[in-house]
């Protein structure tokens, strides 16, 4: 296949970028009164407005041609056929099947019966916990569930439990421990009663250092309690879970063909199902399913995840953006940026294509963000007057009426409008004069008040944060990531860099104590400082 950056479609986009350059978003809006209508699309209860991006319908048409030339349709066919598109690990990437109601096949086998069986077991378990029927070893009912997992075995359910707090059972605490830092487990179990606490050890491999350390810490905190009443495992390594003391009957399978960061729809979602109940969890799946249906059927030019991916690629590779800020205007979506960080950066933070060649252009953005309106008082200054191009996704659940909620939504719209519109030196001068400044003072201050604007943003609007809309939103980003991976030609489903970091940690740990080992001078120096402090 021709390298991406040498295709005629890429060259056409470069020429188009040059022709468009210098045009301010304000000019693009002035030139086309229909711009919003032409550049916003819906899928169910999600509305995506791309009109504040630095592009036109022609840009999108050229980007769609690029997607066609990279055979996006063929990639989706292979993905949904359960082919091993994760070629470096020889695995399928079939998270879509976890929320499907129709059969999908992996290596010729229909995976739907297994998915349904797991979901039925999830319902039985969560019903038993929530109704008080599940008893700890002393006979007391469970009032706290603590998930022990990290990365994809933590971030999804953790984010969603917070997001759907309005739907959570009031008499059941659902908490999360990820860090190997013993402070997290200590802080998390503080105030909980061991007799009434159930731990879920979530680890696809059941070998992850952090999770195993935390599972052992939980075991000793429980005292001699019967593990079969206080531990559940979600893993595809049942033997290791059993060796830890969790009976097979308490183990939930985690299919091999689902990557950690795409797994919140599987039994990895158990903590969420405990919090909101299995029926609400199924609403989440239904929301994702709605997005899947749209993704797999809508023409590329009207396809929300495809458009999100193309707009992102445009910003990164043609406009030179290095990061993507995600700002949900909903307190409960505060963990969404952290969740998306793993989804986008672990998936597409890659530099070689599937055939081992240099990808030739920039890939995943540095994704960051926090909930609005809090971020306005921290980093929005950089959007207004900093020197960087910073694309933003504003995520806005409209919510109920009420003064505070109206103010929250108004703030979201005001920020997206203001970072786009900006303020010229002339406007600033006029305002200063109107406020009574002398012409000399106004001239001195105006450059400090002026904002260039022209920051690109997408606004994702939804009527309300519900299990259904959250499911659609997450599936939207999942598909965006897969589409971008296809265009860049990278494998979005492995994480060899992370594996290298884990291996290094395993090597350093024993040598930290003994002082042996060959490392770079910095690491050697730091290790000896640590040993000296330990001795002192
Ligand atoms: O962080 C790296 C990673 O490999 C993630 O991809 C994965 O979600 C996480 O570790 C946890 O892995 P496991 O579920 O096997 O404990």
Nearest protein Cα to ligand 1, atom 8: 152
User: What is the position in ligand 1's atom list of the atom closest to the CA of 208?
Assistant: 16
What's the CA-to-centroid distance between 132 and ligand 1, angstroms?
Answer: 32
- Please give the order of strands across the beta sheet that includes 366-368: 40-43, 46-49, 457-462, 392-397, 323-328, 366-368
Q: From the candidates 377, 448, 516, 535, which is the catalytic residue?
A: 377
Is the model's pLDDT at 518 over the cut of 90? no
Nearest protein Cα to ligand 1, atom 9: 151
Q: What is the Cα–Cα distance from 87 to 1, expressed in whole angstroms?
A: 17
Model confidence band, residue 52 (pLDDT cutoffs 50, 70, 90): very high
Mean pLDDT within 105-132 = 97
Mean confidence (pLDDT) of the chain: 96
Helix axis angle for 57-69 and 72-80, nearest 10°, is: 60
- Catalytic site includes residue 346: yes
Give phi and psi for 335, each to the nearest 5: -90, 0
What Å distances lie between residue 124 and 118, 277, 301, CA to CA? Answer: 10, 11, 43
| 287, 469 Cβ separation under 8 angstroms | yes
User: What is the position in ligand 1's atom list of the atom closest to the CA of 263?
Assistant: 8
What's the CA-to-centroid distance between 233 and ligand 1, angstroms?
Answer: 15
> Lowest-confidence range among 2-16, 27-41, 305-319, 494-508?
494-508
Helix axis angle for 496-514 and 209-221, nearest 10°, is: 60
Torsion angle of C-alpha atoms 378, 379, 382, 383, degrees rounded to 10: -120
Of 520 and 515, which is predicted with more confidence? 520
Other CB atoms within 10 Å distance of the CB of residue 401? 8
> Lowest-confidence range among 162-176, 204-218, 457-471, 522-536?
522-536
pLDDT tens digit sequence for 459-506: 999 999 999 999 999 999 999 999 999 999 999 999 999 999 888 888
Q: What is the Cα–Cα distance from 326 to 319, expressed in whole angstroms?
A: 18
- Catalytic site includes residue 468: no
Q: For position 515, what pLDDT does the model report?
A: 74
Nearest protein Cα to ligand 1, atom 6: 260
Q: For position 509, what pLDDT does the model report?
A: 82
| H/E stretch holding 29 | helix 25-31
Q: Tell me whether residue 89 is exposed, middle or buried, using C-beta atoms within 10 angstroms of its C-beta: 0 to 12, 13 to 18, 19 or more.
A: middle
Q: How does strand 109-110 pair with strand 40-43?
A: unpaired
Pocket mutation for ligand 1, best pick of 86, 88, 149, 153 (most atoms within 8 Å of C-beta): 153
Q: Is the peptide bond before 373 cis (omega within 30 degrees of 0)?
A: yes
Query: Which ranges of 190-269 does DSSP label H, i.e. alpha helix?
Result: 209-221, 227-230, 238-244
What's the CA-to-centroid distance between 459 and ligand 1, angstroms?
Answer: 31
Residues 6+ apart with CB under 8 A from 99: 265, 285, 286, 288, 289, 292, 471, 475
Question: What is the full DSSP assignment across 146-206?
Answer: EEE--GGGTHHHHHHHHHTGGGS-TT-EEEEE--SSHHHHHHHHTT--GGGEEEEEE-SSS
| 327, 459 Cβ separation under 8 angstroms | no
User: What is the position in ligand 1's atom list of the atom closest to the CA of 498?
Assistant: 2
Q: Which of 287, 289, 303 is nearest to 42 (CA)?
A: 303
Length of the chain in residues, anyone? 536
Q: For position 111, what pLDDT does the model report?
A: 97
Q: Which of 370, 375, 315, 323 is nearest to 344 (CA)?
A: 323
Q: For position 514, what pLDDT does the model report?
A: 79
Mean pLDDT within 140-154 = 98
User: What is the position in ligand 1's atom list of the atom closest to the CA of 268?
Assistant: 14
Q: For position 505, what pLDDT does the model report?
A: 84
Q: For position 56, what pLDDT does the model report?
A: 97
Nearest protein Cα to ligand 1, atom 13: 203
For residue 333, the 8-state DSSP code is G
pTM, 2 dp: 0.97
Q: Which of 163, 187, 190 is nearest to 177 (CA)?
A: 187
For ligand 1, residues with CB inside 6 Å are 150-153, 203-205, 208, 211, 260-261, 346, 495, 498
Is the model's pLDDT at 510 over the cut of 90? no
Nearest protein Cα to ligand 1, atom 16: 203
Q: Which of 372, 367, 461, 464 is nearest to 418 (CA)?
A: 372
What's the CA-to-centroid distance between 18 and ligand 1, angstroms?
Answer: 42
pLDDT tens digit sequence for 17-28: 999 999 999 999
């Amino acid at each position: 296949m021709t390298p991406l950056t040498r295709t005629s479609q890429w060259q056409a986009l470069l020429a188009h970028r040059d022709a468009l350059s210098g045009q301010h978003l304000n000019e693009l809006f002035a030139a086309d009164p229909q711009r919003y209508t032409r550049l916003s699309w819906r899928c169910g209860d999600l509305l995506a407005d791309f009109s504040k991006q630095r592009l036109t319908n022609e840009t999108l048409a050229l980007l769609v041609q690029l997607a066609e030339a990279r055979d996006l349709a063929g990639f989706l066919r292979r993905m949904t056929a359960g082919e091993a598109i994760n070629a470096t690990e020889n695995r399928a990437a079939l998270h879509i099947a976890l929320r499907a109601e129709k059969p999908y096949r992996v290596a010729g086998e229909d995976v739907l019966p297994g998915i349904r069986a797991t979901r039925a077991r999830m319902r039985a378990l969560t019903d038993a916990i929530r109704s008080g029927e599940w008893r700890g070893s002393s006979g007391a009912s469970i009032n706290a569930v603590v998930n022990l997992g990290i990365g994809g075995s933590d971030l999804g359910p953790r984010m969603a439990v917070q997001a759907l707090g309005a739907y959570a059972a009031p008499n059941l605490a659902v908490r999360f421990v990820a860090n190997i830092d013993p402070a997290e487990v200590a802080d998390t179990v503080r105030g909980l009663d061991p007799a009434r606490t159930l731990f879920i050890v979530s680890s696809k491999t059941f070998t992850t250092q952090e999770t195993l350390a935390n599972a052992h810490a939980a075991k000793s905190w429980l005292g001699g309690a019967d593990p079969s009443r206080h531990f559940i495992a979600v893993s595809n390594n049942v033997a290791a879970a059993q060796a830890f003391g969790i009976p097979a009957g308490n183990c939930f399978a985690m299919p091999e063909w689902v990557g950690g960061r795409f797994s919140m729809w599987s039994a990895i979602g158990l903590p969420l199902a405990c919090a909101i109940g299995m029926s609400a969890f199924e609403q989440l799946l239904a929301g994702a399913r709605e997005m899947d249906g749209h993704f797999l059927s809508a023409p590329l030019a009207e396809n929300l995840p495809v458009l999100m991916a193309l707009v992102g690629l445009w910003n990164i590779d043609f406009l030179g953006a290095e990061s993507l800020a995600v700002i949900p205007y909903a307190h409960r979506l505060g963990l969404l940026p952290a969740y998306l960080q793993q989804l986008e950066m672990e998936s597409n933070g890659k530099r070689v294509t599937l055939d081992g060649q240099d990808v030739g252009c920039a890939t995943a953005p540095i994704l960051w963000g926090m909930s609005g309106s809090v971020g306005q008082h921290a980093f929005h200054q950089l959007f207004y007057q900093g020197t960087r191009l910073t694309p933003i996704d504003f995520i806005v659940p409209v919510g109920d009426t009420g003064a505070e909620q109206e103010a929250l939504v108004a703030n979201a719209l005001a920020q997206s409008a203001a970072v786009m519109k900006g303020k010229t030196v002339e406007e600033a001068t006029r305002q200063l004069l109107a406020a009574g400044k002398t012409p000399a003072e106004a001239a001195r201050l105006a450059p400090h008040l002026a904002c260039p604007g022209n920051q690109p943003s997408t606004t994702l609007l939804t009527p309300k944060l519900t299990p259904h809309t959250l499911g659609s939103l997450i599936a939207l980003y999942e598909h965006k990531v897969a589409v971008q991976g296809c265009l860049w030609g990278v494998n979005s489903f492995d994480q060899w860099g992370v594996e290298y970091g884990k291996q290094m940690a395993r090597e350093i740990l024993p040598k930290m104590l003994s002082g042996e080992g060959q490392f770079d001078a910095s690491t050697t120096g730091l290790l000896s400082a640590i040993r000296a402090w330990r001795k002192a």
